[in-house]
Every structure is written in structure tokens, then in C-alpha cells.
Structure 1
């Protein structure tokens, strides 16, 4: 009988996010409490597009409607929800609903909704707007790089 406990989906995703985030100082993105312990939240998004400077491409900016968003494939088979707040500002979150692990839907009208139980999250901050979820979506660092949304 195997007595080792399997790695949870959340732990595996956090390992991926940490591996990608360490160079940019976003290690706190995987905090299970939703806080970094310093009172700050990792920032993401860009006020202006930048030149091509690298980063893992997630989605073409043109494929993310302004005021809406998209659920895209992330590294390691993860799902990431990208919200486009303005012409050049995007935010991204782990697309796994913290309530029971369902993949959330695309943002619409400033809200990201879980199709399973109706939890709603703010597209601009990932915070719970309506339960049953009791914690918000985990931020994923992204920026606009030319015509692409890329991981930071």
C-alpha cells in the first residue's frame, strides 16, 4: 500500500507559479491565505504595451475583449483567466475556483463567475463578490508585451 500522499493540484500549481515568479519577486502569489504577510498584493498588468522583451505568451491581446476576458491554457496544463480592464491593462488569476476547484468562466461586466455554484469574483482584483467561495482568486503576474499578454 502506498502511504505517500499525492501532490494536490493546488500544491502543483503553486510550484509552477513560484518557479515562474521567483525572478520577478512574486513568490507571494501562492500564499494559501491569500496574503503575502506584508500587506501588499502582487501587481500585474501594464499601463502601456512594451517592446518584445520575452515572457511566456498566454494569449494575443486582440483575443481578450476589452471589458471582458478569456480563460487560457497556462504552464503545466493549468488554466488562467485573463481580464482586460482597458485597452492596455490586463489582470490574470488562477482560473480554479477556491470553493470546489471548478474552472471559472470568462470575465463579463467586471465579474468572473464560477459555473458550478455561482461564486463571483471581481475582474479587477479577484476578490469574492458573492459566495459560496470565501476566498478570492489567486493573482498571476502578467503584462502586455507588444500585442501579447505574457507571464511576468
Structure 2
């Protein structure tokens, strides 16, 4: 039908829904894509035990010396800071080397992973598996009362 120069085009409901579905799928795909390959690199770094993303940035103050008890430690973001003996500070990635879970506590002289029961010493070494590799070390220095990633 032609009214005032406009042609009446009949479009089925099925055609409209199909077109809408393609648009929604394209929008969803675009929303899920970050434009980089970071998700695959994060997955591979977790499974391989490499955790450069989890390490503190150089120059970043992680804790004060008063925050870290002797014979224990604290978890700061994705970094664990320990003081195995008085005045000796060490830091490690908080990413468990077994399957990439984050360790969640430092207690009774160990750094503990909640996922599969791995435990690490305050020096980052495996005390109890299933983890086979130690926690990845993070270099730190003490500057005044601050423990700083270096």
C-alpha cells in the first residue's frame, strides 16, 4: 500500500526478532571483549604460578614494620609480608602456586591457602601440598618504618 509516497512494507515478527537477536548478540560480544588478551594471560599466569600482576609495584609501601608481627605476617592485597625473625622482612605473591587461589591467612607460622589446603612457611617454601612450588618472592626493603616493594 502506498500512502503519501510511503510504501507499506510488511515485515514478519520472526524477521524483527531475528534482527534484534543479532544486535543483542553483537552488543554482548563487544561488552565481554576487553580489546586485549589480558584474560588469557591472567589465566595462564595463575596456572603457571607466575604472578607478575599480583606483585606489588616497585616503590609501593606495603605495610609498616609495626604491622608485621615477629614469627607471622600480613596479607596486603595480593602480597604477603612476613617477619620470620626479628628485623627480617620478606614478601611473596599471595597467589598460591597450586591453582592460583589467593592465600587468606597467616597463622601458626604458615601462610595458608583456603582452596586445597596448601601451606607455606614464612619463607614462602611449601610446608604442606598440594602446591609443589614455593610462593613467588617479592623484593622489599625497609625505609624507616615502611616496608616497600623494590
Instruction: Give the 3 Å change call, closer, same or farther, for CA 111–145 of structure 1 in structure 2.
Output: same
CA shift at 1:14, angstroms? 2.0
Q: From 124, 141, 144, give the equivalent of 2:142.
A: 144
Structure 2 unpaired stretches of 5+: 1-28
Q: Is the 8 A contact 2:54 2:94 kept in 1?
A: no
Partner residue in 2 for 1:96:
95
Q: Is the 8 A contact 1:88 1:144 kept in 2?
A: no
Secondary structure at the aligned position of 1:62 is classed as: helix
Instruction: Give the 3 Å change call, closer, same or farther, for CA 16–66 of structure 1 in structure 2.
Output: closer
Instruction: Give the 3 Å change call, closer, same or farther, for CA 16–97 of structure 1 in structure 2.
Output: closer
Q: From 52, 74, 84, give the equivalent of 1:14.
A: 52
Q: In 2, distance between residues paired with 1:134 and 1:86?
A: 24
Q: From 44, 67, 70, give the equivalent of 1:66.
A: 70
Q: How does 1:34-73 map to 2 (within 5 A)?
A: 55-73=59-77
CA shift at 1:15, angstroms? 6.1
Larger radius of gyration: 2
Q: Is the 8 A contact 1:58 1:150 kept in 2?
A: yes
Instruction: Give the 3 Å change call, closer, same or farther, for CA 129–88 of structure 1 in structure 2.
Output: same
Q: CA RMSD in A?
A: 2.8
Structure 1 unpaired stretches of 5+: 21-54, 74-78
CA shift at 1:141, angstroms? 0.3
Q: Is the 8 A contact 2:51 2:136 kept in 1?
A: no
Q: How does 1:104-115 map to 2 (within 5 A)?
A: 104-115=103-114
CA shift at 1:108, angstroms? 2.6
Partner residue in 1 for 2:117:
118
